[in-house]
Structure 1
Amino acid sequence: MMHAHARTLVSYWDSRRRSDAVPARADIAAADLRDLLGNLFMLQRHDSSHHVFRLAGTKLCDLHQRELREQNFLSFWRGYDREHMKLLLESVLANAAPGRGYATAETICGDKIDIEMVFTPLASTAGSVDRILGLYQPLQSAGRFRNRPIIRHDLTRILPPVAKQWTIPATPPPGLPDAANDR
């Protein structure tokens, strides 16, 4: 089941698409998502192995106890998890549809917390789909993590995009009569 913040982000993303496959980065207004800002991030694809933080919310940075801007999101992951996360991000961009991932995050002292991540694709000003607006949502309270940064993530589940769910409804060419069941 999706966290309420995850549902909010996906609904907002869908509302900003209008008639496009994905919304443009310029269509996203931080003020519209003020309740989520601390957990939001934006990635820019440089190549398949480099999805770099352009922005990272304060809660996300606090959990990792470092500024994440200009860092590679894939550096959170190791081994097969890194490859799976790379494929998930690439799939979100290629299918122009949201995807989700779940992970266990671990602090330097071994404390653990479950995380839900949502990835929604965005188009750059040039029109290419190369950005991701994401949510990094802890599923339990992270208050006990004070002064202990998250240093490790282990993927527990991936939900890749379902492109058919997000396709733009087809409109018939002008001048064609409606089908009998459309009247």
Structure 2
Amino acid sequence: MIFGSRSGDGLSGGQENVVSMARFRKGGALSPLRQAEAYWTGLRRGDDVPSRSQIDPRGLENILSNTFILERIAPGIARFRLAGSLVNEMAGMEVRGMPVTAFFTADARKQLSSAMEHMFDTPAVVELELQIEAPRQSSPREARMLLLPLRSDLGDISRVLGVLVADEGKTATSQRFSITSIAMRSIGKPSGAAEFKAKPRAEATDERKDVNQPNPGFAETQARFKPERSLLEEARALLDRSRAGKAGTPADPAPAKHKGAPHLRLVVSRD
């Protein structure tokens, strides 16, 4: 089906206004990539990376045969944990447990390893343009692969949600992928997101001042413990108190002379 314009004499000779509708009938060859990326984006919370446990096969029902899950097992190496029927068919075998680099040419393996390390560390979304090279085919076919980072149950970014699409054609069991181009997009923070800033730690002098300040809504403030005095300090304090008491006590008054009191007088006569 084509759309064109008519002039007074008939069909116009220009082809710039002709649009072919063949590639829109089934959504195009890149439709599974965009569906997977939209599903992955919907699982994100802010600028965070979705976790592997959030992936529900029902959300990818239309493209399950094109999808796969990778697990990072070493720097630059990731193996298949799950794979759709189309991925197994293109490899000619069951790919579960095998490294993804095994299906690429020697030159392409280094490029893929570097791209995956950048994806895990940044993190980033990686999209690859591939060529399927097989000796039984007269001409190589084109393919595309999309790699979306995921978090594991431990919280580290070591899982991948991947999608693989290829041009229609006869599948050969000895095919290998070569990389034509690599596009990487870093996962940035959404615009207008406020940055988190930790509150500066109070200095020691401020902490001592705020210890006994009232705190509404919580338990009442507690008084500080006084340092315990040693036995020597207690003995000195006791000695000081005893000396102070003796210095303040008035001396005993002299016995007062009793006036008019009866007394005996001894009289000695030498006559």
Q: TM-score range by the shorter chain?
A: 0.7 to 0.9
Q: SS at 1:35's partner residue?
A: helix
Match of 1:137 in 2: 165
Unaligned segments of structure 2, at least 5 residues: 1-27, 197-271
Higher helix share: 1
- Return the match for 1:33 from 60, 82, 99: 60
2:76 to 49, 72, 82: 49
Compute the TM-score of the two structures, normalised by the length of structure 1. 0.83
1:24 Cα offset (Å): 0.5
- SS of the residue 1:155 aligns to: strand
- CA drift at 1:150: 4.4
Name the structure 2 match of 1:179.
none
How far residue 110 of structure 1 moved from its aligned partner, in angstroms, is 2.7
Q: 2:109 is paired with a residue of what secondary structure?
A: helix
Does the CA-based 8 Å contact 1:21-1:96 persist in structure 2? Answer: no
Q: Which has the higher strand share?
A: 1
Question: How many residues are paired up?
Answer: 168
| Mapped pair 1:101 → 2:128 | yes
Does the CA-based 8 Å contact 1:101-1:118 persist in structure 2?
yes
Identity %: 24
In structure 2, how many angstroms separate the alpha carbons of the residues matched to 1:155 and 1:96? 21
Q: Distance in 2 between matches of 1:49 and 1:172?
A: 31
Task: Name 1:162's counterpart in structure 2.
Answer: 186
Shift of the 108–172 alpha-carbon distance from structure 1 to 2, 3 Å rule, reads: closer
Kindly provide the CA deviation profile for residues 126-157 of structure 1, in whole angstroms up to 9, marking residues without a partner as x. 0000000000111x213x22xx2142111101
User: After the TM superposition, which residues 11-160 of structure 1 pair with which residues of structure 2 at under 5 Å, given as runs?
Assistant: 11-19=38-46, 21-111=48-138, 112-138=140-166, 140-142=167-169, 144-145=170-171, 148-160=172-184
Correspondence for 2:222: none
User: How far is the alpha carbon of 1:162 from its aligned partner?
Assistant: 2.7
- 3-state SS of paired residue (2:179): strand
Q: Of the two structures, which has the highest relative contact order with CA contacts closer than 8 Å and spacing of 6 or more?
A: 1
Q: RMSD in angstroms over aligned alpha carbons? A: 2.1
User: Using the alignment, how far apart are the partners of 1:105 and 1:4 within structure 2?
Assistant: 19
Gaps of 5+ in 1: 174-183
Q: Normalising by structure 2, what TM-score?
A: 0.58
Whether the 8 Å contact between 2:90 and 2:175 is mirrored in structure 1 is no
**SS across alignment from 1:171:** coil
Instruction: Flag the 1:126–1:42 CA change in 2: closer, same or farther, 3 A.
Output: same
